[in-house]
Structure 1
Amino acid sequence: MARANAGDVEGLVALYESDAVLALPDGAVATGTEAIREVYRRLLADRPTFTPVAQRPALCHGDLALTSTRIPGGATTEVARRQPDGTWLWIIDQPNVLGD
């Protein structure tokens, strides 16, 4: 949320692996950091404000983690993978599971 509210496109893109996939509201998928960067550029162009919401505890198995957040009218789900340096990056991001 902090990165989105700051308009930090590069900071948001840094949360993803280079070949990650991000689901879009129209049913399309952005694949790879360049496509994801463009999604965030468009999303943040008008400097919207995002309200922090409670993230559910991550469900981990080995080097994979399922994360989710309840949002007004829906929920998000993401799959992250542990990197060799111990950090986690998203490889799959579904921003609105219950979207139209």
Structure 2
Amino acid sequence: MAEYEKAMSPEDITRLFVERSNAGDAEGVAALYEEDAVMAYPPGSQTVGREAIRALWEKVLERRPQFQPEQPLPTLVSDGIALTSTAPKDGAGARAQVVRRQPDGSWLRLLDQPEFVAVTD
């Protein structure tokens, strides 16, 4: 895996996600997740593990969606675990993530509830 900027605060992950997604970098997006992370997407199912999350984002980013930065809501932190969330501009409801501090002081997503808007073709 390439060397990527690390999220040194829980809130950094959202910024890095937007930057990497808009660049079409599925590997970079996956690098924001722990090896055994769980993502509640596609709707009604779960994607488990960094490699599966990378493969999912590869497919999503093929359509070249553009993500807008969203203002983080107050972060809750306790003993190396944090709950981050944003109020999305697209009206999809709240997005929430559980992130964990890594041994080097950086943060990675452990659980991700993205709440995407369904797109119909």
So what's the TM-score if we normalise by structure 1? 0.92
State the shift of 1:58 in Å: 1.4
Separation (CA, whole Å) in 2 of partners of 1:49 and 1:98: 13
Tell me the equivalent position of 2:114. Answer: 95
Against the structure 1 CA distance between its residues 98 and 58, is the aligned structure 2 distance closer, same or farther, given a 3 Å change threshold? farther
State the shift of 1:97 in Å: 8.6
Separation (CA, whole Å) in 2 of partners of 1:84 and 1:50: 30
Tell me the equivalent position of 1:42. Answer: 59
Secondary structure of 2:53's counterpart equals: helix
Aligned letter for 1:2? E
Which shifted more, 25-34 or 79-88?
A: 25-34
Aligned letter for 2:28? G
Tell me the equivalent position of 1:52. Answer: 69
Gaps of 5+ in 2: 1-17
Q: Which has the higher strand share?
A: 1
Q: Is the 8 A contact 1:75 1:98 kept in 2?
A: no
- Count of paired positions: 99
Tell me the equivalent position of 1:84. Answer: 103
Equivalent in 4, 17, 21 of residue 4 of structure 1: 21
1:57-92 CA distance string (max 9 Å, x none): 211001100000111221100000100000000000
So what's the TM-score if we normalise by structure 2? 0.76
Separation (CA, whole Å) in 2 of partners of 1:95 and 1:19: 17
1:27-71 CA distance string (max 9 Å, x none): 110000111011101110021111111111211001100000111
Identity %: 49
Separation (CA, whole Å) in 1 of partners of 2:100 and 2:42: 24
1:21 aligns with 2:27: no
RMSD: 1.7
